[in-house]
């Protein structure tokens, strides 16, 4: 499996922290405080959507709105079509590192290094439905299951909590003896009740739990990168998953066996903060070097 760089975009003037696909366009937020969307696969700029007053770290899409979490704890609600700021959600006091939207429950989720997991719902405006706070602990990452029935939270101390999304009961508490920050999470698309976690030391763990039993077992634990892993993502055909790291590389793994397949390197010059699959033959990555790179699989 060989990959090559097909396009590079470097119009952001700051580190790129998050990218996401929506309506066949790529959206990105960066340290220059701009929210931009791009044509794919050409990566030509389509629209400059917003210049925010805070540095953005994450984004998610909720119907016709874009939710952007920032370094100062605020969440901006932007109208996608009119490019207008509709609302600012203020509850967090630290950096909002992850946002997700549950289309089934119509709830939005945010996690912050203030140790708060917040659940939001919307009638006329977005408002808090429920919050979970852990005194003295900090949250760093979040993932939602494919069926949107589970949400996983990763902490700086290495612990992981899993909630069901109907009543938001905690169903698993994974105490990680490694005691290192959980920098990325991803629910398995090939096995039921399996969660992948990645940490600041560049290691990947695979966890399995049984329903109705409050105990998870670590099936695998291995060093994947030389530094923090910031993205884990499955390919659309569920045959592979990728890991993207501060060590400036992306690695591709066989989903079922966890066998290493190949490494994408020598294009990014700094940390890769986000990576995603466009399709089985195309990957997008972005990071501190202000580059958005489109990788294409070659025969």
Annotate 79-142 with DSSP letters as a single string. ETTTTEEEEEEE--SS-EEEEEEETTTTEEEEEETTSEEEEEEESSSEEEEEEEE-TT--EEEE
pLDDT over 80 at 1, yes or no: no
pLDDT over 80 at 114, yes or no: yes
- H or E element in which residue 11 lies: none
Q: Mean pLDDT for the chain?
A: 95
pLDDT at 228: 97
pLDDT over 80 at 177, yes or no: no
Cβ-based neighbours of 72, under 8 Å, separated by 6 or more: 54, 55, 95
Kindly provide the b/e burial profile for residues 93-108, where b requires at least 16 CB atoms within 10 angstroms of the residue's own CB: eebbbbbbbbeebebb
pLDDT at 130: 96
pLDDT over 90 at 242, yes or no: yes
pTM: 0.94
Which domains, ranges and CATH numbers included, belong to the chain?
14-231 (2.130.10.10)
How far CA 105 is from CA of 59, 65, 101, 102, 164, in Å, comes to 18, 16, 9, 6, 11
pLDDT over 80 at 64, yes or no: yes
The predicted model gives 65-75 an average pLDDT of 97
pLDDT at 185: 98
The predicted model gives 158-170 an average pLDDT of 96
pLDDT at 42: 94
Select the more confidently predicted residue: 213 or 95.
95
Q: How many CB atoms lie within 10 A of CB 81?
A: 8
Distance CA 229, CA 158 (A): 13
How far CA 245 is from CA of 4, 71, 181, 233, 251, in Å, comes to 18, 21, 14, 12, 9
The pLDDT > 90 percentage for the chain reads: 88
The predicted model gives 236-259 an average pLDDT of 97
The predicted model gives 8-21 an average pLDDT of 97
């Amino acid at each position: 499996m060989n990959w090559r760089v097909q396009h590079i975009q470097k119009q952001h003037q700051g580190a790129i922290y998050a990218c996401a696909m929506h309506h066949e366009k790529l959206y990105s937020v960066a340290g220059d405080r701009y929210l931009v969307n791009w044509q794919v696969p050409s990566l030509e700029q389509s629209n400059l959507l917003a210049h925010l007053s805070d540095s953005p770290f994450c984004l998610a899409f909720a119907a016709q709105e874009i939710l952007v979490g920032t370094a100062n704890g605020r969440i901006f609600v932007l109208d996608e079509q009119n490019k207008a700021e509709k609302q600012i959600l203020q509850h967090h006091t630290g950096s909002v590192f992850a946002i997700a939207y549950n289309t089934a429950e119509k709830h939005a989720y945010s996690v912050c290094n203030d140790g708060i997991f917040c659940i939001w719902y919307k009638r006329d405006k977005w408002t808090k439905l429920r919050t979970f706070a852990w005194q003295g602990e900090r949250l760093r990452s979040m993932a939602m299951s494919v069926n949107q029935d589970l949400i996983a939270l990763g902490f700086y101390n290495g612990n992981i909590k899993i909630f069901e999304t109907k009543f938001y009961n905690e169903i698993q508490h994974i105490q990680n003896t490694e005691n290192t920050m959980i920098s990325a999470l991803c629910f398995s698309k090939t096995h039921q009740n399996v969660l992948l976690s990645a940490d600041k030391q560049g290691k990947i763990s695979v966890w399995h739990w049984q329903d109705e039993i409050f105990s998870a077992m670590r099936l695998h634990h291995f060093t994947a990168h030389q530094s923090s892993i910031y993205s884990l993502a499955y390919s659309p055909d569920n045959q592979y998953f990728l890991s993207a790291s501060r060590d400036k590389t992306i690695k591709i793994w066989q989903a079922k066996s966890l066998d290493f397949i190949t490494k994408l390197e020598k294009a990014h010059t700094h940390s890769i903060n986000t990576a995603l699959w466009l399709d089985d033959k195309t990957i997008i990555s972005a990071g501190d070097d202000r580059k958005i790179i489109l990788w294409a699989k070659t025969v």
